[in-house]
Homo-oligomer: A and B are copies of this chain.
Amino acid sequence: MDIDLELAPKRKRAAGTPCCEPVVYPDVERVRAERMAAVAKALGDPIRLQLVDVLRKHAGKVCVCELTPLFDVGQPTVSHHLKVLRQAGIVDSERQGLWAYYYVLPDALAEFSGWLGGTRSEERAT
């Protein structure tokens, strides 16, 4: 019930007729989807999501030595996850002597967040 008639199969349909014409999307939509999916993928691991969470909680820059003991994985694994986040453009780092400090890049999550938050397509900017 409550089917959107616009998208219901166009005819009462004799078996064999294609049910509807394909809706073609402009290429830019696909590129945008790939960009946002890359961000979502990077956030699609509990450790990485928590890393971003911690970095956002502390608006400043956080030492890796503070991040590592938060998780039940080894240091190389945390380093790996931070690298994934950096490659996704979500965080960046800065070295200070022996230590490395990570921070969230502002606006890195803006596009994805905007898409997620918007309930209707009309609200989106191109």
Contacts and interface: CB of A to CB of B under 8 A. Distances in A.
A7 interface: yes
Interface residues of A, number: 57
A89 to B, nearest CB: 15
Interface in A109-126: 109, 112-113, 115-117, 119-121
Contacts of A44: 37-38, 40-44
A97 B48 CA distance: 43
Interface of A: 2-4, 6-9, 18-20, 22-25, 29-30, 33-34, 36-38, 40-46, 48-50, 53-54, 56-63, 65-66, 69-70, 96, 99, 101, 109, 112-113, 115-117, 119-121
